[in-house]
Amino acid sequence: MKTRIYITLLILLHVTMQALAEEPRKIIIRGDEAFPPYEFINDKGEPDGFNIDLTRAVMKELGLPYDLQLEDWTEALRQFENGEVDLITGVAKLETPDKRFYLSKAHSYVDYIIVCRKNAPVRSARELSKKSIIVQRYSLPHRKLVEMGYETGLIVVDNMMEGLNRLSQGEGDAAVCPGNMAQGLIYKDGLTNLIIVDSGWPLREYCFASTDYRLLEQIDAAVLKLKKAGVYDRIYMKWLGEKPVFTIPLWLYSLLGALLLTAVLLFIFVSVYKKRVKRGEKLLKEENEKLNALLLENRKHEKMMREQETRLDLAMEAGDIAAWIYQPETQEIKTLRGNALAGKGLSMEENLQILHPADHAIQKGLFETLLGGEKDTAEAIFRYMHEDGTYHYYESRMIVRREEGEDVAILGTQKDITKEVHNNKMLNDTVEKLRFAIQTARMAMWEFDCKTLVFTSYNDPVADYKDGAPISINTYDSYFQKDGTEWDLLEEATRIMAEGEEKTYRFIVKMKTKYDSDWQYCVVRGVPMDKDATGRVIKYLGVRLNITEQMNYQKLLEQEREDARQADKLKSAFLANMSHEIRTPLNAIVGFSGLLQTTEEPELRQEFINIINNNNDLLLRLIGDILDLSKIESGLMELKPELFDLSETFKETYVTLKQRCTNSEVEFLGYNPYKSCRVNLDKNRLVQVGTNFITNAIKHTQKGYIRMGYEYVDEGVRIFVEDTGCGIPKEKQCKLFQRFAKLDDFTQGTGLGLAICKAIVDVQGGKVGVDSDEGKGSTFWAWFPCEAEIEEADTEEETKAKPADEISGLLMNKPDVPQADGVRRKSILVAEDIDSNFMLVKAILKNVELTRAITGKEAVELAAAHHYDAILMDMKMPVMNGIEATRKIRAFDKTTPIIAVTANAFDSDRVEAMKAGCDAFVTKPVKKKELEDMLRV
């Protein structure tokens, strides 16, 4: 026994030593330095206020060391969010809990009010939607007003001391802050031009905040102890209650109370004694008179009893009510009054035969309960078999009759309520169906009382779906967003209800409750319901229906309708423009072709021919632009990047484009800065962009020069065309790269060229633009991102483009076939199945010996049997097409140049021909100069 005692003492000593050795960590506590009377820095520079005194009392009760300081609210929150602070002295509880920290039970409540100037009063919270509102940063009013959509009208300050002074000086229209803070600051700072208005917001719980849930549990327990000890009430009265003018000692109150109570009791005793003496004397005189009258009264009473029984029988008959009695001794039920089911009498066995089987146990239990003394009265509904063979519902009310303290019988009534039960069932079914329909339709219903100005809601998320919950006008308004709500119609509806007008109303609101993840559109409808004797409406009935899906669908339909309208306009503009552009060159071609047949003068015929050729070129460019536009619109524009020498491509393009510049007053210049510049780009598209720039420059330059060139800058190739033409006004430059954009309606062209250039550059990730001064000229440029292998030019001459006659053709190195006079004529195989197309080639190549093959198979046989200087291969022929024929020829002849001739102008056709073995590609209609330059005849 002693050993156990010693062991216990040693364990206690060890625990005590550990407790003494461990020093608890200080609790870091922070609060707002400008939130009176809850917490603030007093005149001595020390923390003071309700929160401070309460916190100190709690820490003292818990016996915990702590570090309590007040700082700027923003800084205090920053430290708290960074984990530098353990406890915040006061945080208003939001409707949606903040998951970053925990809150204690409320240690007080905050009433948020509206403060405004007397000369510009704000009558209700609804008017805040049109006002500038001063709020403290990160406070509850700040967050709530931002959520309601008032963010643009907020003036955010670091503390409300500054905010109310700024409001008093004329800044802003109103402020939202705690009421007791506003009252104290207005009185202390002498802000006599400010008044306080009820906001209609509910009281907010004011709690401690911490990330340590166990610490908050300790604080809640400590606050409860302080309340029981009266310490909390003294702190509350000190800061938040009314201060008494003077105090009287408690013992003096007790003494005065005891003396006063003694005097009152003594006075009452004497008064009662005197009254009883006088009353006793009077009663003695009256007693004899009452005894004499008692017999007479007894006779009257018996007569009244008989009359009452007669009336009772009539009343029970009128109400279809009968009375019965159950006697447990005989186990019988008998009729007392009316037409009871018992008739002259029923045994318990006979009673159970007509009673519904499911009600047997209920009736038996009630009888046992009443006779056992557990209840004196009972009510129940029993089902009895009726004469028509169906069960009827009977309402029974039962009471126990006792004699000498013992239960001797059960008295009861019965009434047939079958119709009422069926009607109630139908009504309940209807109500449930209506409730289901309302819930399914996301509809809220309400009644508005014009006297109390309060809504009674049903199935409303604002009231947490509690049927019959009261909601004020200001509460509803706090859920509405400023933008998206028809405030004018809402205010008109409020006026109609306030004045009791017999009108219906409808308006749309944009609102959000805690059950919604996003803002919802709702339509509100109201109709008059009840009127008073004067005809004034005193109650309105209304519904609020969620129409968010309908609104979103309507916006989608409007957008699609607008898109369709724009597409139709673009289509009409495109067709109109194409009709004009196609008819213009066709008109010249057809007209001058007719004149050419009747004109004999050589000079005039040559002029007509030039006009026809120019319009042919225009029509071909138009068709090409339309095809490119079709690819762009359908998203099918393909890039065919290839590795090529941009310097050589520039030389070839320069020579070709220089021939288009026929104006002797315009000098055509080229800038080729590199001996070699190998890049990996879509060669044809790059040339297309440059060609379009040159074509526009030739149209708009009457004298001076046109300069084309390129350079490698910013990790990409920049091509440019500079001219001294008419220039472009600044206000029109933004339209240049739009479809169908033409700055001069009298200049031929579709207005598609620059738009296609922009699409080509964009799809390669580049940039395109123009620098122009009106009357001085323009520089069009395009930049393509790419890597380049550059070899700088050795001399200045190498940067200039070589003339056309120095560029070798396909046949430059081919030996001529001698004619009879010793001059060799070139021999060309033409694979063409259409007679008119072959005649055109024959007319162009007059000095060349031509051999015709009508099918691809025939072309292969002729190429195998004879040697030709070149082969013109049509791509589409009978028996064997040009692609297949080219492959077969390349199987035995690798050197003879093969030129593909086709009406298809797509890049895919060019690529396929080149893969088959063709050396060049010509599109129909074949141009004489192009073919001659290629063959170098």
What CATH class has 311-423? alpha beta
Q: 663: closest CA among 631, 692, 706?
A: 706
**Separation CA 237–CA 223 (nearest Å):** 15
Q: What is the CATH number of domain 827-935?
A: 3.40.50.2300
Residue 767: the pLDDT is: 92
Q: Where are the alpha helices (DSSP H) in 441-486?
A: 473-477
222 against 22, higher pLDDT: 222
- Sign, CA torsion 547/475/506/434: positive
User: Which band of pLDDT confidence, cut at 50, 70 and 90, is reported for residue 813?
Assistant: very low
Q: Do domains 24-109+206-242 and 112-202 have the same CATH topology?
A: yes
Per-residue pLDDT at 281: 67
483 membership: H or E segment, kind and range: none
Lowest mean pLDDT among 3-7, 164-168, 424-428, 771-775: 3-7
Say which residue the tokens 């009968």 belong to. Answer: 322
Residues 581-636 pLDDT 10s: 665 566 557 666 766 777 778 887 787 787 777 678 767 766 776 776 666 666 66
Taking the C-alpha atoms of residue 287 and residue 293, their distance in angstroms, rounded to an integer, is 10
Transcribe 655-713 into DSSP letters: HHHHTT---TTEEEEEE--EEEEEEEE-HHHHHHHHHHHHHHHHHH--SEEEEEEEEEE
Least reliable range by pLDDT among 10-14, 479-483, 751-755: 10-14
Q: What percent of the chain has pLDDT over 90?
A: 27
- Report the distance separating Cα 197 and Cα 393, nearest Å: 59
Across residues 727-747, what is the average pLDDT?
67
Cβ within 8 Å of residue 535, ≥6 positions away: 502
Nearest to 146 by CA among 486, 476, 482, 513: 482
At residue 764, the 3 state secondary structure works out as coil
* pLDDT at 775 (0 to 100): 83
Q: Look up tokens 């001399």; give the residue.
A: 795
Q: What is the pLDDT of residues 441-464, one digit of tens each?
A: 778 888 999 988 899 988 889 888
Angle at 529 between CA 525 and CA 533, to 5 degrees: 145
- Domain ranges, ordered by start, for the chain: 24-109+206-242, 112-202, 311-423, 637-792, 827-935
| 673: number of Cβ within 10 Å | 16
CATH superfamily, domain 24-109+206-242, is Periplasmic binding protein-like II (3.40.190.10)
pLDDT band at 862 (very low <50, low <70, confident <90, very high): very high
By the 8 A CB rule, do 681 and 717 touch? yes
Determine the CATH number of domain 112-202.
3.40.190.10
Q: Which residue has the higher pLDDT, 911 or 563?
A: 911
Residue 423 has what pLDDT? 87
Give the H/E segment covering residue 395: strand 391-403
d(C-alpha 606, C-alpha 587), whole Å: 18
pLDDT of residue 505: 92
Contact 118, 195 (CB under 8 A): yes
Whole-angstrom distance, CA of residue 614 vs CA of residue 371? 123
Buried b (16+ CB within 10 A) or exposed e, 918-932: bbbbbbbeebeeebe
Task: Determine if the peptide bond prior to 202 is cis (ω within 30°).
Answer: no
pLDDT class of 291 with cuts at 50, 70, 90: low
Residue 253 has pLDDT above 70, yes or no: no
- Burial classification of residue 223, based on how many CB atoms lie within 10 Å of its CB (0-12 exposed, 13-18 middle, 19 or more buried): buried
pLDDT, tens digit, for every residue of 761-788? 888 889 999 988 888 899 999 999 999 9
User: Residue 163 to residues 150, 158, 171, 755: CA-CA distances in angstroms?
Assistant: 18, 8, 9, 57
- Residue 467 token pair: 């049927």
Q: Under DSSP, is residue 870 helix (H, G, I), strand (E, B) or coil?
A: strand
In the predicted model, what is the mean pLDDT of the chain? Answer: 81
504-537 per-position pLDDT tens digit: 999 999 998 888 888 999 999 999 989 988 889 9
The answer on pLDDT for 120 being more than 60 is yes
Residue 232 has pLDDT above 80, yes or no: yes
CB 134, CB 167: distance < 8 Å? yes
Position 415: which residue type? K
Q: Homologous superfamily of 637-792 in CATH? A: Histidine kinase-like ATPase, C-terminal domain (3.30.565.10)
Contacts of 459 (CB under 8 A, 6+ apart): 435, 438, 439, 443, 444, 445, 465, 467
Ranked by mean pLDDT, which of 315-324, 435-444, 450-459 comes out on top? Answer: 450-459
| 683: pLDDT strictly greater than 90 | no
Burial of 399 (0-12, 13-18, 19+ CB in 10 A): middle
Cβ distance 668 to 706 under 8 Å?
Answer: yes
pLDDT at 16: 47
Q: Given pLDDT bands bounded at 50, 70 and 90, which one contains residue 312?
A: low
- Return the structure tokens found at 557: 């339909």
* Token output for 883: 């692609």
**pLDDT the model gives residue 837:** 72
Q: Which two tokens mark 238?
A: 């000190």
Q: What is the pLDDT of residues 293-308, one digit of tens each?
A: 776 777 777 777 777 7
With cut-offs at 50, 70 and 90, classify the pLDDT of residue 249.
Answer: very low
Structure tokens given for 165: 């002074």
Q: Please, are residues 885 and 874 in contact by the beta-carbon 8 Å criterion? A: no
- Give DSSP secondary structure letters for 516-560: -SS-EEEEEEEEEEEE-TTS-EEEEEEEEEE-HHHHHHHHHHHHH
The pLDDT confidence band at residue 245, using thresholds 50, 70 and 90, is: very low
542-555 in b/e form (b: 16+ CB < 10 A) is bbbebbeeebeeee
Cβ neighbour number for residue 195 with a 10 Å cutoff: 16
Dihedral (C-alpha) 384, 390, 394, 400: value to the nearest 10 degrees?
Answer: 0
**Is the per-residue pLDDT at 812 higher than 50?**
no
- Per 3-state DSSP, the chain is made up of helix, strand and coil in percentages (nearest 5) of 45, 25, 30
- Half-sphere exposure of residue 9: CA atoms within 13 angstroms, side-chain side: 6
Q: What is the DSSP string of 72-96?
A: -HHHHHHHHHTT--SEEEEEEPPSS
DSSP 63: T
CA distances from 546 to 441, 445, 510, 559 (A): 8, 12, 10, 22
- Reading the block at residue 579, the tokens are 């009709």
Burial of 774 (0-12, 13-18, 19+ CB in 10 A): middle
Tally of residues, the chain? 937
CA angle 788, 794, 800 (to 5 degrees): 80
C-alpha–C-alpha distance, residues 174 and 167, integer Å: 7
